[in-house]
């Protein structure tokens, strides 16, 4: 079988694509079920990146594809997959990405959602006992393309069902929205990572992320490689400072800080510092119209190392936002800000 040369089709992403991908595998999302994944595994749907294409790579079932691909359906019906979100959340929009699926993409897709306190007992995902609600009606998909759609519901959900009509391949499925966590149920003396994405923390602005994205800083686990962190370009300006602003999941008082330069060996920052502020206006914070207070004074960093700070913390004021400064440039894998919430 001959394959034509393929190319990526990139569309301008809507604003909601800057929100947290609630389904992401790296955050804890899971693909629990698919009616068929004969050609390519359902788990690929929520992996990082847009997917790749390797011209001469085949499996014993056919062409290897980096996505979820069902066989050509010869019976009535259509295929679908169930995704468990990493955390309950309010969904704003989707990206149903058919990257590199050109002659084998589904012409249409739809999405249903449900909130389940405990999905463990579920044996049949098509059971009438599950009250699925349609949050994206049947919508057309372009081949080899990111297909962005808004959700028509602002409710909180834990599980989604992606339907494709009638069959075919989807490279990635992104579910953008806001983490939901009931902070009234969290004891005020509990220590949590106030910046963690899984708790609702967000990276909202930075001056540079040439090599890798600022959102990586607050992902779970240590970085998988050097690309799984926040890295700025080399700056030749004397006295340069690069920075990133994080909105905490909930205002709190920081008691322990971890700055991890995992995998950054010849390109870690020389020094870092952290500032904090209290504000209910993200735009004011990003426009520097707030009063920043030093939380962690300048600290020397070293290569490929977890730096932990407790006694070095200069102020334990309540913060809603923090700004990590690095001097003069470089890469940081993760930033952990452990503390207590302030209700």
pLDDT of residue 12: 85
What pLDDT digit, counting tens, does each position of 194-203 carry?
999 999 999 9
Q: Are 299 and 269 in contact (CB under 8 A)?
A: no
For the chain, count helices (H), then strands (E).
1, 22
pLDDT of residue 6: 45
270: nearest Cα among 301, 242, 298, 239: 301
CA 151 to each of CA 92, 110, 213, 234, 290: distance values in angstroms, whole numbers, following the listed order: 5, 10, 25, 40, 34
CA 110 to each of CA 12, 33, 141, 146: distance values in angstroms, whole numbers, following the listed order: 21, 16, 10, 15
- Distance (Å, rounded) from C-alpha 260 to C-alpha 219? 12
What pLDDT digit, counting tens, does each position of 103-149 carry?
999 999 999 999 999 999 999 999 999 999 999 999 999 999 999 99
Looking at the domain that runs over 15-179, which CATH code has it been given? 2.60.120.260
- Distance (Å, rounded) from C-alpha 162 to C-alpha 93? 13
For a pLDDT cut of 70, what percent of the chain falls above it? 97
| Domain spans in the chain, listed from the N-terminal domain onward | 15-179, 183-341
For the segment 34-43, the average pLDDT, to the nearest whole number, is: 98
- Exposed / middle / buried, residue 139 (Cβ in 10 Å: 0-12, 13-18, 19+): middle
Q: Taking the alpha carbons of 120, 126, 132, 136 in that order, is the dihedral positive or negative?
A: positive
CA 307 to each of CA 95, 190, 257, 332, 333: distance values in angstroms, whole numbers, following the listed order: 36, 22, 8, 11, 11
pTM over 0.85: yes
Instruction: Give 301-304's long-range contacts (Cβ < 8 A, gap of 24+).
Output: 301/259, 301/261, 301/268, 301/269, 301/270, 301/271, 301/272, 302/261, 302/268, 303/261, 303/264, 303/265, 303/266, 303/268, 304/261, 304/262, 304/263, 304/264, 304/265, 304/268
Q: Are 134 and 170 in contact (CB under 8 A)?
A: no
For the segment 148-164, the average pLDDT, to the nearest whole number, is: 98
pLDDT over 90 at 288, yes or no: yes
Q: Are 81 and 33 in contact (CB under 8 A)?
A: yes
Task: Quickly state the pLDDT bin for 18 (edges 50, 70, 90).
Answer: very high
Q: Taking the alpha carbons of 151, 153, 159, 163 in that order, is the dihedral positive or negative?
A: negative
113: nearest Cα among 160, 73, 152, 156: 160
Class level of CATH domain 183-341: mainly beta
pLDDT of residue 83: 98
239: nearest Cα among 270, 205, 207, 274: 270
What pLDDT digit, counting tens, does each position of 200-231 carry?
999 999 999 999 999 999 999 999 999 999 99
183-341 has the same fold as 15-179? yes
Q: How do beta strands 68-69 and 169-170 pair?
A: antiparallel
Q: Convert 146-158 to b/e letters by CB count within 10 Å (16 or more is b).
A: bbbbebeeeebbb
pLDDT of residue 10: 58
Q: Are 40 and 66 in contact (CB under 8 A)?
A: yes
- Distance (Å, rounded) from C-alpha 46 to C-alpha 33? 13
Task: Quickly state the pLDDT bin for 9 (edges 50, 70, 90).
Answer: low
pLDDT over 50 at 2, yes or no: no
Q: What integer best gives the mean pLDDT of the chain?
A: 95
Q: Are 263 and 226 in contact (CB under 8 A)?
A: yes
């Amino acid at each position: 079988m001959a394959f034509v040369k393929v190319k990526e089709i990139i569309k301008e992403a809507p604003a909601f694509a800057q929100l947290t991908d609630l389904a992401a595998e790296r955050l804890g999302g899971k693909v629990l079920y698919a009616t068929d994944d004969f050609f390519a595994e359902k788990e690929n749907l929520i992996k990082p990146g847009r997917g790749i294409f390797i011209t001469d790579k085949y499996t014993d079932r056919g062409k290897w594809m980096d996505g979820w691909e069902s066989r050509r359906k010869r019976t009535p019906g259509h295929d679908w997959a169930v995704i468990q979100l990493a955390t309950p959340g309010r969904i704003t929009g989707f990206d149903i990405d058919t990257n590199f699926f050109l002659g084998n993409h589904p012409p249409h897709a739809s999405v249903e959602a449900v909130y389940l306190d405990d999905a463990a007992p579920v044996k049949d995902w098509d059971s009438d006992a599950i009250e699925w609600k349609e949050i994206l009606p049947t919508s057309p998909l372009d081949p080899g393309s990111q297909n962005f759609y808004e959700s028509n519901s602002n409710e909180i959900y834990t599980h989604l069902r992606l339907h494709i009509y009638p069959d075919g391949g989807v490279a990635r499925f992104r579910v953008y929205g806001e983490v939901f966590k009931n902070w009234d149920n969290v004891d005020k003396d509990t220590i949590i990572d106030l910046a963690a994405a899984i708790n609702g923390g967000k990276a909202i602005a930075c001056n540079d992320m040439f090599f890798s994205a600022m959102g990586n800083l607050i992902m779970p686990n240590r970085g998988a490689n050097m690309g799984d962190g926040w890295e700025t370009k080399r700056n030749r300006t004397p006295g340069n400072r690069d920075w990133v602003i994080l909105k905490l999941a909930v205002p709190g008082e920081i008691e322990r800080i971890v700055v991890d330069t995992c995998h950054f060996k010849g390109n870690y920052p020389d020094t870092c510092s952290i500032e904090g502020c209290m504000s209910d206006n993200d735009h004011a914070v990003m426009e520097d119209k707030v009063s920043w207070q030093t939380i962690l004074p300048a600290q020397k960093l070293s290569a490929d190392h977890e730096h932990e700070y407790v006694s070095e913390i200069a102020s334990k004021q309540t913060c809603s936002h923090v700004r990590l400064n690095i001097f003069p440039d470089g890469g940081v894998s993760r930033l952990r800000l452990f503390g207590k919430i302030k209700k």
